[in-house]
Structure 1
Amino acid sequence: MRAEAQHLCLWSNAIVPKPNDWREHATITGYSMAREHDDNYLPSASLLDFLSTEDPIVAVSMGSMHMENPSEFVQMLSAALADLGARAVVSGAWTRSLPAGPQALEANILAVEDLPHSWLLRQRAVRGFIHHGGAGHTATGARAGVPMLVLPFFIDQNFWAAQCRRLRLGPHPVRFSDITAPRLRVAVAELLSGEWDGACARIASRLAEEAGGTAIAADAIARQVQASEAAKPCSLVEGLTAQWRHRESGLLLSGLAAAALTSRRLTQWSDYDTHPVITWDRSEDFDKASGDGILSALVLIAFKVLELLLRVLAWGESTGVTANPIREAKIRQSSYDLDKFRNYTPVEHGGQCPMNEQQLVQNWKILVGVDC
């Protein structure tokens, strides 16, 4: 965030408002959630039969979280539900480790491994949602307007649990490691009390009125692309876009030019400020009209940023120096551009080369007033 790189935060302002100290390069887009899997879902006859009841039903999912003893959790849940005259549909990968067979689970619990939460939460009998506090589960529950009991395991799950509590979308969270049969019974009773219905309905209404996060994110990316296309040219090499500003002379230089001058010790990287330009690689010919393509690009960007951040943090911890990841990435890219330029073969490119390195250096000396 301090590096002022574009940040697209795929959550809703209704859940986490934009902090006052975040600047304009951070955009809270709203949720971006596909409905294809939901719309195409065909529930089994046993699931439909289980849902056709007047008893309140609780949806339960712990996502991909690992449980030491899932059977023990299910037994505690079953006992809590029995005292309240309620039932539960449990889903997720963790259900694979539950005992198999028609008599393996209590009569008030149905296990379904693969189930769209958004579909289940829209069913009339479902009155509550118990989950681990993942960002996706929290978003789905809030959009459905169903009270949530969050049982966080670690990391950001505690954050989302706190937001649910702050917004009164359900009872006080309970760490999964702290669950006991009595605590679970009290928490489920509070979940089904009806106390949270009003707040949940209001949040769901606000989320329904929001524009889709995918469209807002795509618009933000498009504006960045337009900004890059309006960027200023390099002062030394025609046809290249400026990536750096030489602090003393004010000249705008491409990565190639800055790397060439630095390699010849005419300048140092500390002499440059990054020029605010976004480089957009179109070599893979993204389909701009494809929602799936946009989502894939956003996921890729998120993973690449996370990977870069982890590398920077690890380097900073070992050296005691805090790096600017955007600047470091631009230096590496500039050096790569120079290497490609030096290995340029005119014969392979129609016999023409835009400029040799000696010409670049000569132009630099002329512009800064150094004798050639």
Structure 2
Amino acid sequence: MSDSVFASVVQAPEDPILGVTVAYNKDQSPVKLNLGVGAYRTEEGKPLVLNVVRKAEQMLVNDHPAIQENRVTTVQCLSGTGSLRVGAEFLARHYHEKSIYIPQPTWGNHPKVFTLAGLALGRSWERTIRAIVLLHACAHNPTGVDPTSDQWEQIRQLMRSKGLLPFFDSAYQGFASGNLDADAGSIRLFVADGGECLAAQSYAKNMGLYGERVGALSIVCKTADTATRVESQLKLVIRPMYSNPPIHGASIVATILKDGDMYTEWSVELKAMADRIISMRQQLYDALCARGTPGDWSHIIKQIGMFTFTGLNTNQVAFMTKEYHIYMTSDGRISMAGLSSRTVPHLADAIHAAVTVLHRSAISGSYRAILNRSSHDLTSE
């Protein structure tokens, strides 16, 4: 692991428009004039930095070694999906292995994002070296089943020993435990060992900015020089895709992250959101038990995050939609955030009826296998 997996990435040429500023900055002439920048300039020809922005910048403290060493390159993307796509296209162009191994099951959009970007879906990564492996950072979608801290460490050791490249999808930070730091633990574990990894991060849900599509792709490299070259190539991926991301939502996120008091306030509000989801889990579980609904429903309170993978089959889901006007994905995944104390009884009635009328256990064998996985299973697949 001494050599960077991005060692072959070369410095990309400057964009013909954005490169104008680079060329201008290199020009030593006292009469130089830059008319290529479409951004506000002062009478002195300099960018205007607002006083409030300067204050926010002074509050920002980068205390992680990888950040201090300039080994992390981060680009703003269009929420989590856009971050995954940019990372996938970068890897398809510059990483020698074109296969990516994704969890089973996983978010339905993952296969499309990666294959359309030029990567192939792998099948059995335990026999593969140097391949890309997608990992849900926390609050696995759709199962709500995350590895324990010990299991994450075993996964890290196995992946590093095989030279596998981790690509984290962090869409629900804060919704798993209610704690931002705890939910980032899996990514930080891989960053701390000095190895390389990618992380696609969304602020759409945990900041209530879904319509703003705020996200970021971070690539942790071996050296600052590698990070610089990687960033130059990321720009070439982004330029023909969306050129520049919108600023409004990103400015809101940046303001909150840079202000200590606002960050604390956000953390408290996020914890309240996570706690309400936990409460909905308990209420649904209690309601099903009270009705004597066939099957073991303890997985509802064992799972974490925004979603519950109920185990209801396609026919049961269709029955609930037709008879009870309840809508969910056909695999039985439900968003716990969409429930309230008022609607839990209605859902419990629908599930009870679906399971009873259709005479089938609500928990599929495939889900039961996921729920009962041991540490050995998680690190040997």
Q: Is TM-score (shorter-chain normalized) higher than 0.5?
A: no
> TM-score of the superposition, structure 2-length normalised?
0.28
Work out which structure has the larger RCO, using CA pairs closer than 8 Å and 6 or more positions apart in sequence.
2
